[in-house]
């Protein structure tokens, strides 16, 4: 188990290296720099600024320097938030995004799994049809449309919830729901189809023949055997939540990484863009390893070498 974990971790390193190199390359291809201003600065000042941020050195030196810094956990100073390090900004913003993401996952699973199970249990009934319909609606509704709609109704119309900022549990509800609802649609459909498949299995007939109640059969036998496919989409789900957070944090003015990323892109704050991108890459690599580990625990047929039988 631990061997496998380390092996997977090692596989993640080339991915991260590629990401770091690519972002570095992209940022250096960009026309125009962060210090281009309307007014022409005196050449000495430009030289000073460039020396401070090592922009006067040849590109390969900058690259090596950058890689060395990253390995030490130092992502350099932000170009726009003067006097602040990228690492500080990320450390401050990360817990916010993490809270939002975890709440969204709770909503996704809390809505999606029950809806899928109920749908499967009442297959082809009106309950099933309305669940599928709701799931398709959820999948098709862009999160910013849902977010705007929520703000319009709950903040501006009924004055129940705050429309923005991040100051307490009340501020988490709407962004988490807007972020999680769409994915709940995917989870609901996935759960439905796997549970339907499992319900056709022989051991379900055995369980029913033993006289177990339908609820026990559903929860204990069907759902617990349908959990593996649901776990396997948690990796892509993490990636989806990351990109989803850009928009949601933008709409609800949540001071998380997504919001900083958007601002950094508009400001051409390259160290911050690169830093946030790297953190996302690490997050996604870790999420995938984590999912594979759970997968392995749940399904004995998945062997330790990572070969799925």
Partner 1 sequence: MFAKMSLPSKLSAVFLLGLILCALFAPWVAPYSYETQDTLRTLAVPDGTHWMGTDRLGRDVFSRMIYGAQISLFIGVFTTLVALVIGTIYGAVSGYVGGRTDNVMMRIVDVVFALPDLLMIILIMVVLGRGLWGIFLALTVVSWVTVARLVRGEVLRIKEFAYIEAARAIGASHTRIVFHEIMPNILGVLIVTLTFRIPVAILAESTLSFIGLGIAPPVSSWGTLANDGWTAIKFYPHLILFPSLAIFLTILSFNFLGEGLRDWLDPRKTH
Residues in touch with partner 1 (CB under 8 A): 15, 18-19, 22-23, 26-27, 29-31, 136-137, 139-145, 148-149, 151-152, 156, 239-240, 242-243, 246-247, 250-251, 261-262, 265-266, 268, 273, 277, 280-281, 284-285
Neighbouring residues of 149: CB distance < 8 A, sequence distance ≥ 6: none
CA-nearest of 76, 99, 70, 22 to 257 is 99
State in angstroms the smallest separation of the CB of 199 from partner 1: 18
To the nearest whole angstrom, how small is the minimum distance from the Cβ of residue 270 to partner 1? 9
* b/e burial code for range 16-48 (CB count within 10 A of at least 16 → b): eeebbeebbeeeeeeeeebeeeeeeeeeeeeee
Strand partners, 308: 302
CA distance 100 to 58: 41
Distance between CA atoms of residues 251 and 242, nearest Å: 15
Nearer to partner 1, 93 or 285 (CB): 285
d(C-alpha 234, C-alpha 232), whole Å: 5
Closer residue to partner 1 in complex, CB, 139/298: 139
Choose between 31 and 211: whose C-beta lies nearer to partner 1: 31
Is residue 241 packed enough to be buried (19+ CB in 10 Å), middle (13-18) or exposed (0-12)? buried
Considering the complex, state which of residue 113 and residue 283 has its C-beta at the smaller distance from partner 1. Answer: 283
Residue holding tokens 């919830």?
A: 161
Closer residue to partner 1, CB minimum distance, 234 or 251: 251
Which residues, in sequence order, are bridge partners of residue 85? 77
Minimum separation from the CB atom of position 20 to partner 1 (A): 11
Tell me the C-alpha distance between 175 and 172, whole Å: 6
| Count of residues making up the chain | 309
CB-nearer residue toward partner 1: 131 or 251: 251
Tell the smallest beta-carbon distance from residue 245 to partner 1 (Å): 10
Q: Which is nearer to partner 1, 29 or 82 (CB)?
A: 29
Nearest distance, CB of residue 219 and partner 1, angstroms: 28
Residue 302: helix, strand or coil by DSSP?
A: strand
Rounded CA-CA distance 171/165 in Å is 7
Nearest residue (CB) to partner 1, 76 versus 147: 147
Whole-angstrom distance, CA of residue 213 vs CA of residue 71: 57
Minimum CB distance to partner 1, residue 258 (Å): 9
CB of 113 to partner 1, least distance (A): 21
What's the closest the beta carbon of residue 31 comes to partner 1, in angstroms?
8
């Amino acid at each position: 188990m631990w061997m496998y974990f380390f092996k997977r971790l090692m596989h993640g390193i080339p991915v991260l290296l590629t990401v770091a190199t690519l972002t570095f390359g992209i940022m250096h291809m960009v026309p125009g720099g962060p210090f281009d201003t309307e007014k022409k600065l005196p050449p000495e000042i430009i030289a000073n600024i460039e020396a401070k941020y090592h922009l006067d050195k040849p590109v390969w030196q900058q690259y090596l320097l950058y890689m060395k810094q990253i390995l030490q956990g130092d992502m350099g100073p932000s170009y726009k938030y003067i006097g602040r390090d990228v690492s500080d900004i990320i450390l401050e913003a990360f817990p916010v995004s993490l809270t939002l993401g975890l709440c969204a996952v709770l909503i996704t699973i809390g809505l999606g799994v029950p809806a899928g199970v109920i749908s499967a249990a009442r297959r082809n009934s009106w309950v099933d049809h309305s669940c599928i319909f709701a799931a398709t609606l959820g999948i098709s509704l862009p999160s910013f449309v849902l977010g705007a709609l929520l703000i319009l109704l709950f903040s501006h119309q009924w004055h129940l919830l705050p429309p923005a900022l991040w100051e307490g549990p009340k501020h988490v509800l709407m962004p988490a729901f807007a972020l999680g609802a769409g994915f709940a649609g995917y989870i609901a459909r996935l759960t439905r189809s796997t549970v339907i498949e499992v319900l056709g299995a022989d051991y379900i007939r055995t369980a029913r023949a033993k006289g177990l109640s339908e609820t026990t059969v559903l929860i204990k036998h069907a759902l617990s055997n349908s959990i593996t496919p649901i776990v396997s989409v948690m990796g892509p789900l993490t990636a989806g939540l990351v990109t989803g957070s850009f928009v949601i944090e933008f709409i609800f003015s949540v001071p998380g990484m997504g919001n900083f990323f958007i601002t950094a892109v508009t400001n051409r704050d390259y160290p911050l863009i690169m830093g946030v991108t790297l953190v996302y890459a690490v997050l996604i690599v870790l999420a995938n390893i984590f999912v594979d580990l759970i997968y392995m625990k749940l399904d004995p047929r998945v062997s330790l070498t990572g070969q799925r039988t």
